[in-house]
Amino acid sequence: MSASLAARTPTYSRIELATVTSRAQANLLGNIHGGEVVKLADSSAGVVAQRHSGGPAVTAALDEMAFLRPVRVGDIVRTYSQVNWAGRSSMEIGVRIETQPWDDPTTEVLHVGSAYFVFVAIDAAGAAREVPPLRLENAEDERRMREAEIRRAHRLARKAEIDAARSRD
């Protein structure tokens, strides 16, 4: 982590986005294409990464994307995104995705998916640059960081295992 940059809280960069889905985003079954949901989550996470790091940041990895329920044409889709973890130049951004039909405010809001992206802050030459450390504000933030560390540990362990297997080939 950087000693030179002032720490920022998750609240500093947290955002909510909302959009209404259209027929143009539907798959052959008539629901919203999963890729459209990923794109929305990625865009949301990118805004958070830019805000936390104070400059450009790129998607390095999609650590996990859970599709819990279908998204329908005409749904209001809301994303809630925040930094869960910050390293030297990388950040994990968590995105929660909820829906509700556009024409019925009495309908229950559904949690339709969650995604965890790794973004890397870059400089003008496209090289990784340092990001501010994360200053946690409450027990929820601590839980999110713990879980992000578990995902990171699994990702690194899997990569090490695959690299070792390839080197034996």
Identity (one letter) of the amino acid at 84? N
Contacts of 70 (CB under 8 A, 6+ apart): 31, 32, 112
Tokens of 82: 């925040």
Does 88 bind ligand COA (CB under 6 A)? Our answer is yes
Does 132 bind ligand COA (CB under 6 A)? Our answer is no
Alpha-carbon radius of gyration of the chain: 18
Best CA proximity match to 86, nearest among 49, 124, 44, 42:
49
Measured in degrees and rounded to the nearest 5, phi and psi for residue 123 equal -95, -175
Q: What part of residues 94-113 is at the interface with ligand COA (CB under 6 A)?
A: none
CB of 107 to ligand COA, least distance (A): 35
Total residues at the site for ligand COA (CB under 6 A)?
13
Does 90 bind ligand COA (CB under 6 A)? Our answer is yes
Does 128 bind ligand COA (CB under 6 A)? Our answer is yes
Query: Closest CB to ligand COA among 50 and 100?
Result: 50
**Longest pairwise C-alpha distance within the chain:** 59
Among the listed ranges 30-38, 64-72, 84-92, 139-147, the one in contact with ligand COA (CB under 6 A) is: 84-92
CB of 12 to ligand COA, least distance (A): 18
**Which of left, alpha, beta for 74 (phi over 0: left; psi -120 to 50: alpha)?**
left
Residue of the chain from 2, 59, 100, 114 that contacts ligand COA (CB under 6 A)? 59
Measured in degrees and rounded to the nearest 5, phi and psi for residue 143 equal -60, -45
Does 89 bind ligand COA (CB under 6 A)? Our answer is yes
User: Which DSSP symbol is given to 30?
Assistant: S
Query: Closest CB to ligand COA among 13 and 31?
Result: 13
Residue of the chain from 26, 47, 60, 73 that contacts ligand COA (CB under 6 A)? 60
Q: Give the binding site for ligand COA (CB under 6 A).
A: 58-61, 87-90, 118, 120, 122, 126, 128
